[in-house]
Structures are given as structure tokens and as C-alpha cells.
Chains A and B, each alone.
Chain A
Amino acid sequence: MTGLKAQLNRKLHECGRDPLSLFLLGCVIAAALITFMVLSFLLGYILWQGLPNIETGLFALQYNSENVSLFPALVDTVLMVIMALAIATPLGIFAAVYLVEYASRGNRLVSLVRVTADTLAGIPSIVYGLFGMLFFVTYLKWGYSLLAGACTVAIMILPLIMRTTEEALKAIPDSYREGSYGLGAGKLRTVFAVVLPSAVPGILAGVILSIGRIVGETAALIYTAGTVAALPDGVLSSGRTLAVHMYVLASEGLYMKQAYATAVILVVIVVAINALSSRLAKQLMKGK
């Protein structure tokens, strides 16, 4: 703390004779404080209001209007995450492998893939939701189903997984690849036995971030996975994830206590995911 104080004093002293500098310094410190306060107030409020509302009834196996259980939604969320990752992870990783390991420099396809991936990353989730509704739900006749929802969010997280895997692959020194070739391994074996295993922390960080996005997604799921609040019978039955569950509760306005409790669970999941992902990223930095 004394170090901080000394630093601040030095800065204040330096600005003492210059009102403009003092003003600007005040502005940046105030801005940083505001940013920090927004987060602490938001988290603090949700936790303070929500924690007392977490009851055992919320985790009952069946949803009914008395217990307003979030358990089915929790199951749906987990299923959604697993299914979406099962689709998007191999696609994203393979695409990144092609871009980094196979494509030659200045390949036109590569720039097209980059442009489209950037476009995908910028599309608002409601547009994905609408597309999912038009294509998976209506055109392929899957109806409101977990599968349709999972496919929709899989497209959403594809650019994220692709980008993080690409970065992770690029960070692997060429000497690893040369070593593998030198020992007589082919390209494919080099990719699977040497390059990908060393890139695991980076890839995992991306996958975990994607989990966070799926857990928090609402707009893309309302019209693809639907809002049925029961345990699913299979991949073609409709189900609401936690975020959708929370939206429905909050917009009905009848079960605010349960909505607070759901918010706490969502926030806790997101905080845990963030912590895990940044820890992996740090590990990656250390490895370098």
C-alpha cells in the first residue's frame, strides 16, 4: 500500500502546478472507479438479494408453479453446453489446424475464412436465433428442440473457438514441428501427437469462454430451444436453459424471488468460468 501511496503522491506533486493535468488525472481515476463500482454494485446487489432466496425447493426434480424449480433448466443448460461443444469444438479446432498448419501464405480461402469468422462474431444473437428458427426449426422440421438450440449456439461460438485455437497453435514454436518431422513423423501425426497436445491450455481457455457464452445466451434460444420448463425426454424435446428460465420468470413478474436466486446461480457459474479460463491463459503465458 505504501508503494501505491508514494506513487500517487508523486503524480499529484507532478500535476500540482498544472491544473489541466490535475483535471485529466482526476478524470481517468474517476472513470476507473466508476467501472469498478458498476461491477461491484451489480454483483453485490444480485448476491445480496439472491442468496437468501436460494431454497431447496429450487432444486426439486419437477418444475411446478409452487416450487418454480430451476433444476430442469439446469439440466437443459448442461445438455445444451455438451451438445453445442460437441458440434463446435471439432469444427473450430480442425478449421484452425487448416488455417495454421496447412494453408499456404496469402491463400485467398484463408482471408475469406477470416472475414466470415469476424462477421459471425459480430452478428447479434437474435439474428442467430431467427436463423435457427428458420433453418433448424422450420426448414429441417426439428421443431423447438434442444438440438436446434445447440446447433444455433454452436454456430455462435464457432468463431471464438477457431480464433483461440489459432492463437494457441501459432504460439507453438516451429522447433516442435521440425523435431517431429526430424524423427520421421508425417504431417498428420505431427499435428495430432505434437502440435495439438501442446496447444491444449489455449484451446481449453477458448472452450471454457464458449461455455460462458452458451450459459448466458437467451435471445438465440427462445425461438430455437423453446421455453418448456420440464426435464427433456431427448434431444428433440424443447427445454429452457437457465438464462431463458430467468428471462421468463423476470418478464412474468410473478416469481421475482426465484428470479433473484437464478441470477445468483448464473453469476456464480460465470464467475467460476472466468476464473478458470484466465487461470488457464496464465498457465499458457508461463509455458512460453
Chain B
Amino acid sequence: MEKRKEEIMKFVFLLAACASIATVAMICLFLFANGLPTIGKIGAADFFLGERWRPANDVYGILPMILGSLYVTLGAIVVGVPVGILTAVFMARFCPEKIYNVLKPSVELLAGIPSVVYGFFGLVVMVPFIREHIGGTGSSMLTASLLLGMMILPTLISVAEAALRAVPDSYYEGALALGAGHVRSVFFTVVPAAKSGIMAAIILGMGRAVGETMAVIMVAGNQARMPIGILEGVRTMTTNIVIEMGYAADLHRDALIATAVVLFVFILIINLTFSYLKGKVVQQ
């Protein structure tokens, strides 16, 4: 009887462990089964390279959204990476304990704030600010990039900080022994040694920025046309899905699912790059 129970429970645990495999398989199945035939139907070239998205005329080109996602993500990286990585350096090597005890929870809190709250903040603070002081309508690529740059800070900081802390002290001590000061030792030995980890942080930040939806939707303007300038509105793949899914039907709906497939593939590539870089850090 006891033995039987052991066996059964072991099987239950095994099943639970397979749950994540099953869900990933299901997600792939449902997205690809709905999305891939649609891409075939629209025509891969028309779908990926089409510059116009006109559901009313059954014209579905998602190049504007792909470019929109890329530009906004690049913008977020340009805004977020210098601040994030330097903050990580500060936290890992410069920070007195008293400040660390404030800064670390702050970063965690920044990670916990819901994206809809970020979006709301962007809508009521950043959009009017940019409209009045920089130009355009305010709902623009620039606003989305700035907001996403803020949102990816916690990801960048926590991954990069862990990477910097993983560098053996002997590197730093060696630099000190050769006569370099604290700052130079950190920046010219510790930071280069944590290179892969810092790259991993940036890649993960990119993943967050590409996948972000609700915050972008509230500040980016969402016009479905080729991006024409940083003060003009832009639509990303994620926002395209949310905006139109509510009323889409037939081929339009399938085209949105196909958009999700493209987004999913982007994320998979980013994740694989991240795991590769993380593996490299572990090897060191």
C-alpha cells in the first residue's frame, strides 16, 4: 500500500513537471496552426514586406509594425542601457551599504509596478510634456522609447548587477596592485570581464521592450503606417493585436494571430540568445 502511494505520487510529480512542456507545446500548436496557414494565404512576401495594413480592403502587410517594434525597442535600449548598466556598476562596486539598502528595494519596486500604471504615467505626464516642449502630438515613437527605457531599467540593473558581482575579486585586486585606482580598476577590468552578462542583460531588456503592450498602447499614437519620424506616432506588433482583436473577424483575425506568431518568433530568438549568453557566463 505504502509503496503504491509512493509510486502514484511520483507519477503525479512527474506530470506536474511536464505541465510547462505541455503548455509551451500547446501555445506553439495553437499559434502556428492558426498563423502559418494565414501567412501562406496572404502570401509571405505581402505579409512580411507589405507596407500597408488595411483590414477594410483585406490588405495585410505588417512591415510597419515590425519596424515600429524594432525602432521603439532600439529607442528603449538607447535610453535605458546607459542608465541601467551604470546604475548596476554603482550598485555592485561603488555603493555604500546604506544607499544600497534603499536603492535595491527601489529597483525591485520599479520592476513590480504594473505596466498599465507606467502607461498611465506616460499618458498624463510624458505625452503632454513632449507635446509642449519638443513638438508633435506627444504620442510618438520618442515617448514610447523613453517610457520603455524606464520600464526595462529593473531588468537591466538586476541581471547586470549579478553579472558584475560574479566577477572574481582577483581581477579587481590585480588591477589595484598594478597601481590603478578604484574607478579605473572597476571600469577597465571588472566591467569588461562581465561583458557577456551585461550583454545578456541588454538582450533580456530587449525582450521586455519588444513584448510590452499596455504601456506602449497608451503613448505611441498607434497609427498603422510606416514609421516616419521620432515625433510621429507608431504602431508595434503587440499594440496591433490589442487594438484590433476586439472587433476582428475571419482573415483579419487570422492576420492578427499571424502577427502574434511573428512576435513569438522574435521573442524565441531573443530568449535563445539570452540563454546562450547566460550559459557563457556560467562557463566562466
Residues of A within 8 A of B (CB): 3-4, 7, 11, 14-15, 18, 20-22, 24-25, 27-32, 34-36, 38-40, 42-43, 45-46, 49, 90-95, 97-99, 101-103, 109-110, 112-113, 115-120, 122-128, 130-131, 133-135, 139, 155, 158-159, 162, 186-188, 212, 215-219, 222-223, 243, 246-247, 250-251, 256, 259, 263, 266-267, 270-271, 273-274, 278
Q: Which 10 A-B pairs have the closest CB atoms?
A: A124-B211, A216-B114, A31-B86, A94-B16, A98-B13, A21-B183, A28-B90, A98-B17, A219-B213, A95-B17
Dominant secondary structure at the A interface: helix
Query: Is A95 within 8 A of B19, CB to CB?
Result: yes
* Chain A residues in 8 Å Cβ range of B14: 98, 102
The CA of A133 and the CA of B245, in the complex, are separated in Å by 10
Q: Which of B2, B17, B268 contacts A99 (CB 8 A)?
A: B17
A18, A115, A218, A223: most-surrounded residue (chain B CB, <10 A):
A218
Tell me which of B56-64, B227-235, B259-267 binds A. Answer: B259-267
Q: A116-B20, A250-B119 are in contact. List 8 more A-B contacts (CB 8 A).
A: A14-B181, A22-B183, A45-B125, A95-B13, A118-B271, A187-B6, A216-B114, A271-B112
The CA of A118 and the CA of B246, in the complex, are separated in Å by 30
* Chain B residues in 8 Å Cβ range of A38: 110, 150, 153
B80 to chain A, nearest CB (A): 10
The CA of A22 and the CA of B187, in the complex, are separated in Å by 12
Tell me which of B44-52, B93-101, B166-174, B194-202 binds A. Answer: B93-101
A191 to chain B, nearest CB (A): 8
The CA of A130 and the CA of B240, in the complex, are separated in Å by 12
Interface residues of B in 201-215 (CB under 8 A from A): 207, 210-214
Residues of B within 8 A of A (CB): 2, 5-6, 9-10, 12-21, 23-24, 26-27, 30-31, 34, 82-87, 89-91, 94-96, 98-99, 102-103, 105-110, 112-121, 123-125, 150, 153, 157, 181-184, 187, 207, 210-214, 217-218, 238, 241-242, 245-246, 256-257, 260, 263-264, 267-268, 270-271, 274-275
* Chain A residues in 8 Å Cβ range of B6: 186-188
A264 to chain B, nearest CB (A): 10
State whether A126 and B241 are in contact (beta carbons under 8 Å apart), knowing that A18-B181, A31-B87, A118-B271 are contacts in the complex: yes
The CA of A91 and the CA of B182, in the complex, are separated in Å by 48
Query: Is B21 within 8 A of A113, CB to CB?
Result: yes
Query: Is B86 within 8 A of A222, CB to CB?
Result: no
A176 to chain B, nearest CB (A): 19
Q: Which of A35, A109, A122, A251 contacts B106 (CB 8 A)?
A: A35
A107 to chain B, nearest CB (A): 10
The CA of A231 and the CA of B247, in the complex, are separated in Å by 24
